[in-house]
A and B are shown apart, each in its own frame.
Chain A
Amino acid sequence: MGKYVIKRLLIAIPTFFGITVLVYIVSSLAPGSPLDLLLQDPFITAAEIERKRIEYGLDQHVIIQYIRWLGELLQGNLGFSYRTHLPVWGMIVERLGPTLVLTFSATIFSVLVAVPLGIMAAYKPYSLWDYASSGLSFIGSATPNFFAGLILIYFFAVRLNILPIGGMYDTSGIRTLPMLVKHLILPAAVLSIQQVGRLIRQTRGSMLEVLSEDYIRTARATGLRENLVLVRHALRNALIPIVTELGLMIPFLIGGAVVTEQIFGWPGLGSLMVLSITQRDYPVIMGITVFVAVAVLIGNIVTDLIYSAIDPRIRNR
């Protein structure tokens, strides 16, 4: 088990450096330079710009520039925002909480809805029940977030007026948990719609496959009741591909969060990202990109660990 974890971590290191190289290349290809801001000053002299260029290290070779950037990055220094002149790292930390609340609650909600639906569909395949949940799954995975968001806002916030239209708390300045939950319902629902769709399909598929395995027949032949066969023998085996699917969904979840946060004015990393892109705030864009990439990396490692906790064949490898 320990060996497995170490192996996973060792693989993550070169991946991390690969990510930083990509982020650096892409952002240096993008138009504009940090000096553009200085050019807005009508009294600036060419000598002064040259002095700044040397101060920023822009006269150096691109590889030197990258290494310096990476060195700062490894010390937790992501630079300063062009827009607010605040440290990027602090801006990310401030926005992280709301994004985590949103993505985690959406994931938990999807699992709680989709896994039971998928199991029931697999238990009675080609029944009305199966068709209903398959239908739901197709609609779910085919509905774009922005569309689902607009529909839900229209019905629940505008027509029925039972849920807020956006934001994380109201403007009164008081912050309570019930208020947070009320604001969370719609964005979390929107973010989980596609997840629910994919998860229902994955659960149904892996459950159907597991139910035709020999050890299920063995379990039935011992006189175990069908519901116990499902829970004790089938579910845990079926969970293995479901966990994999959840891991694969992390990038989509983050992408979905960007759109969802924008629609609902949710004060998370996603809406900061959109704002920074429209303002060409490169340090923030780069910071968030590296941060998210590392989060995905960690998410994959956690997925692998859960996976190996479920499946002893992987653990002993």
Chain B
Amino acid sequence: MANTLLEVNNLQVQFSTIDSTVTAVDGVSFSVNKGETLGVVGESGCGKSVTSMAILRLLGKTGKITQGEILFEGQDILKKSESDMCQIRGKEIAMIFQDSMTGLNPVMTIGKQLIGTITVHEKMNKKTAEKKAIDMLKKVGIPSPEQRMNEYPHQLSGGMRQRVMIAMALSCNPSLLIADEPTTALDVTIQAQIIELMKDLKKTSEAAIIIITHDLGVVAEMADRIMVMYSGQVVEYADARSIFINPLHPYTRGLLSSIPRLDKDVDVLYAIKGSVPSLQNVPKGCRFCERCQDAMEICKNKPPVLCTVGDCSVRCWKYTK
């Protein structure tokens, strides 16, 4: 167990508004070993971002962790004080967000924001911090970094801004990096470049990575393990190889066949029909039931539990004896 960096057990997150309470994350468990890369995959709204924000305890005023534990290096994050959390955020666990357009402060130069991030956790003089900031920009592949330091976010392209966000996240050498859809807001060629950069990072840095995406293709070459989420729950959790070679859950299969492939000439991409059930109105049986081609009678009435098949966990009646 000494190798485990992060362990999330039975995490439940609820959001309360005046007239309703929704459970956005419902009994999610997973773990990340040191240096490992976990891919978290699922359609928009399935609770990926909420799960990652829960790990940093940044759910805002309406979100509450109502159950479970989050152990980081063996210590329960949920029991820590706010000021201890500030020590963990950015330094131990860093985060890259999807929205590079809006994720940087528009009235501050890139340099100021980077230096600000570096000096949150490390006392150093301005010169040293500036040098480190320039080094970080170089490391994430930003050309003429000295000049970029004095520019504002709106002067940079989307891809460059995302690189700056990555540089900020890496600047304190975190042991866990959470990348929440780092490429979603970018156009295709830039996406490929950022994925390339993430792959480099995986090779060169010792940080464990959680990469969140709605596109299985993004994590295909990067992830060691993959967790597939649906409607706030884990539906399949397995080795990346076995997910791609032998996907168990009907939803995972659906996701896989909707990845564009260069080796097959398909005109129309397969897409899973229907849409995610609303959190206000969760089906009483399997949450995927309405969209599932393999649905059986039992699926409509009884929710399946997560069960183990070989090295995988899967939430589906097909695999329950």
Interface residues of chain A, those whose CB is within 8 Å of chain B, are: 213-215, 217-226, 232-233, 236-237, 240, 310-313, 316
Contact = CB atoms under 8 A, between A and B. Distances in A.
29 contacts: A214-B97, A215-B106, A217-B97, A218-B97, A218-B168, A221-B56, A221-B58, A221-B90, A222-B90, A222-B116, A222-B117, A223-B86, A223-B87, A223-B91, A223-B120, A223-B121, A225-B83, A232-B116, A233-B105, A236-B108, A237-B106, A310-B107, A311-B106, A312-B106, A312-B107, A312-B154, A313-B152, A313-B154, A316-B152
Contacts of A232: 116
Given A312-B152, A312-B154, A313-B152, A222 B120 contact: yes
B106 A313 contact: yes
A213 B99 CA distance: 11
Given A215-B103, A221-B97, 10 more contacts: A217-B58, A221-B89, A221-B90, A221-B95, A222-B90, A223-B86, A223-B120, A225-B83, A237-B105, A316-B154
B165 interface: yes
A232 B116 CA distance: 9
Nearest to A310: B107
A214 B99 contact: yes
A214 B101 CA distance: 9
Interface string B114-143: 001100110000000000000000000000
A221 B168 CA distance: 10
Interface of B: 56, 58, 82-83, 86-91, 94-95, 97, 99, 102-108, 116-117, 120-121, 152, 154-155, 165, 168
Contacts of B97: 214, 217-218, 221
Contacts, number: 73
Contacts of B168: 218, 222
A284 to B, nearest CB: 45
Contacts of A217: 58, 97, 103
Nearest to B105: A215
Of A219, A220, A221, A225, most buried by chain B (CB within 10 Å of CB) is A221
Of A217, A223, A237, A311, most buried by chain B (CB within 10 Å of CB) is A223
B122 to A, nearest CB: 11
Q: Which 3 residue pairs across A and B have the least CB separation, nearest first?
A: A223-B90, A223-B89, A222-B90
